[in-house]
Amino acid sequence: MASETELDEGLKSENEEYRKLCEEHEDLKKQVRDLEHHKLHTPEQEAEISRLKKLKLKGKDRMHFLLSEHRRKSK
């Protein structure tokens, strides 16, 4: 049985949507990290951090769905 890492890498090479979601997730993670780096946040920054985290979570949920579908088909 393939490991999680092997399934993830296999899906990245086979599925364009999954690959794009992974890239977007990393980009959003960096944006959140950059914004959170500041000790004090304006209300606009807080709203942007919240918006980015929601987008990141939505993408992660879709990635998990695609990965579970891939895992189910691989059995």
pLDDT score of 73: 84
pLDDT band at 10 (very low <50, low <70, confident <90, very high): confident
- Kindly report the pTM of this predicted structure: 0.84
| Stronger pLDDT, 34 or 9, i.e. the higher one | 34
Question: Which tokens go with 23?
Answer: 């890239």
What phi-psi label fits residue 54: left (phi over 0), alpha (psi between -120 and 50 degrees) or beta?
alpha
Contact between 4 and 49 (Cβ < 8 Å): no
pLDDT score of 1: 54
Over 60: is that where the pLDDT of 14 sits? yes
Question: What pLDDT, in 10s, does the model give residues 20-38?
Answer: 999 999 999 999 999 999 8
Tell me how far apart the alpha carbons of residues 73 and 24 are, in angstroms, rounded to a whole number.
Answer: 25
Contact between 35 and 48 (Cβ < 8 Å): yes
